[in-house]
Amino acid sequence: MNTQENCLKAVAFALEKKAYDLQLLKVREISSLTDFLLIASGRSDRQVSAIAESIRLGLKELGVTPLATEGVDEGRWALLDYGDFMVHVFQPAVRTFYDLEGLWTEAPHVALADSGQA
């Protein structure tokens, strides 16, 4: 699978745990840090942790493991760094505070069939 396909798998794993307001940003043209950022929200510490773990375990079954993880146990903001893509799962107040979408306004959004908006 290519990077974008891995990101879309991560979206599916996040939605299994009822993540919402998912945004997939293609940053490869404007950042040397990574190619894609997946941003998602969860409503509680427990849900943020569950979303991050669902993504980590689901991708692990596909042979894709993160280079680093942060914040999964605390649950306010979890980061999964896969090198060519990063996953950020936030509680709403923390997501608003860090405003990653605002920092990456120039990045094109990848259309998602289901972004957990409902």
CATH code at position 11: 3.30.460.10
Burial (Cβ within 10 Å: 0-12, 13-18, ≥19) of residue 29: exposed
> How many distinct structural domains can be found in the chain?
1
Domain for residue 117, yes or no? no
- The answer to whether the Cα torsion of 94, 44, 26, 105 is positive or negative is negative
pTM equals 0.93
Mean pLDDT of the chain: 94
Which H or E run contains 60?
helix 45-61
Domain for residue 44, yes or no? yes
Domain for residue 112, yes or no? no
pLDDT tens for each residue of 60-116: 999 999 999 999 989 899 999 999 999 999 999 999 999 999 999 999 999 997 666
Residue 58: domain span: 3-105
Domain for residue 52, yes or no? yes
**8 A C-beta contact, residue 85 and residue 36:** yes
Domain for residue 47, yes or no? yes
Domain for residue 113, yes or no? no
What are the phi and psi torsion angles at 55 (to 5°)?
Answer: -65, -50
